[in-house]
Amino acid sequence: MTAPRIEVDLGKIQRNTRSLVERLKTRGITVTGVTKAVCGHPDIANAMLAGGATGLADARITNVERMRKAGIFGHISMIRTPMLSQIERICASSETSYNTEMEVVAELAAEALRTSSIHNIILMVEVGDMREGIMPEDLADVASQVVKMPGVALRGIGANFTCLSGGSPNPEAMALLTSLASDIERSYGPVVEVVSGGSSASLPWALGLGAMGRINNLRLGEAILLGVDPVSGASIGGLHTDAFTLVVEVIETKIKPQKLVLQSINPACSDLRLVHDDHWKTRSLLAIGHQDTEAAGLKFPLGVTFGGATSDHIVVETRSSALRVGSEMRLQLNYNALMRVMSAPGIAKIMNNDSPLANEIVDSQCHTRLVLV
């Protein structure tokens, strides 16, 4: 089989989605599956939907269009503030977009009117991440403009956490979202259908013991795909952490010293000496590099140590045994490494469905709370 390649277990993604959907259902929260890390791969998107996600979301219009062309006709949202240059494409492929700028909303409304449609708007509120969001004190004014604007419909509000500032969701921020949603509806009626309380980083809060307020949706990508908490990096109890495996090929193996220093040479000198140290290791080259993935985000097998990376190579070291040229090494990935791999054209994407949900007997009493281990 070709290498490098990323092997994807669709059954594990489906089961991760189902587990989270069932746990959050008891808290009155639905799941939107976020596909941006996998470039909107249709098979992975369908696995999320089969696991019970009520819709999908992505940050790039090319990913959304890819899913539409593959025959995915469910609800897809654009979760990055739309670019003015892409308004027509966004209205044609997404029912909903997350917004912060009235100029953009006005263009979405004009395009929707031109095509005799309605585009749904979710307004993002700044609650501490300091990335995107309308300031809370300005939300009522923005909401009033959206409600009165033909061509668009205010569908909800949302917030983002952790992505930029690293701050975790907290009860105060969630209470603020609840209060803001209620304030809007006191003025304009029941227009806030969705109150989206963040991404995978919000899971510990959502599955805790506190009140949910008006929060009724989470946008989940990393937890579904990798089974980990983005804040701590810890695995989430009951979820698969190995749905993705990067397979790379060994292209060189040599026993080399830890340091090999070429002495500075004067052209007039004929003395060329290599200075060695006394510690030797087996160093191997893997046919993958910075152009393909984030090397720091890879997890290597036991006994293999990461030695460094360049654009096209990763160097690993072993002490016990040499790696055979032509052999393959299987690696696990974090979220950043996964994003790079899935967007790299030189890495084959192999979809497997060896562990479908339908073949598993599920105990309905299991996994009712989130456990980080």
The CATH class that applies to domain 244-352 reads mainly beta
Task: Write out the chain in H/E/C secondary structure.
Answer: CCCCEEEEEHHHHHHHHHHHHHHHHCCCCEEEEECHHHCCCHHHHHHHHHCCCCEEEECCHHHHHHHHHCCCCCCEEECCCCCHHHHHHHHHHCCEEEECCHHHHHHHHHHHHHCCCCEEEEEEECCCCCCCCECHHHHHHHHHHHHCCCCEEEEEEEECCCCCCCCCCCHHHHHHHHHHHHHHHHHHCCCCCEEECCCHHHHHHHCCCCCCCCCCEEEECHHHHHCECCCCCCEECCCCCCCEEEEEEEEEEEEEECCEEECCCCCCCCCCCEEECCCEEEEEEECCCCCCCCHHHEECCCCCEEEEECCCCEEEEECCCCCCCCCEEEEEECHHHHHHHHHCCCCEEEEECCCCHHHCCCCCCCCCCCCEC
Dump pLDDT digits (tens) for 329-341.
999 999 999 999 9
pLDDT of residue 49: 98
For residue 344, is pLDDT > 70? yes
State pTM to two decimals.
0.90
Reference 117, options 105, 108, 130; nearest CA is 108
- Under the banding of pLDDT at 50, 70 and 90, the label for residue 321 is confident
- Under the banding of pLDDT at 50, 70 and 90, the label for residue 262 is low
362 close to 17: Cβ distance less than 8 angstroms: no
Q: What is the CATH number of domain 9-226?
A: 3.20.20.10
For residue 371, is pLDDT > 70? no
Dump pLDDT digits (tens) for 275-297.
454 467 899 999 999 999 999 99
pLDDT of residue 161: 87
Distance CA 109, CA 118 (A): 8
Distance CA 218, CA 177 (A): 13
Dump pLDDT digits (tens) for 85-122.
999 999 999 999 999 999 999 999 999 999 999 999 99
Instruction: Report the pLDDT averaged over residues 234-253.
Output: 97
pLDDT of residue 339: 98
Dump pLDDT digits (tens) for 353-370.
875 554 443 333 333 334
> Domain segments of the chain: what residues?
9-226, 244-352
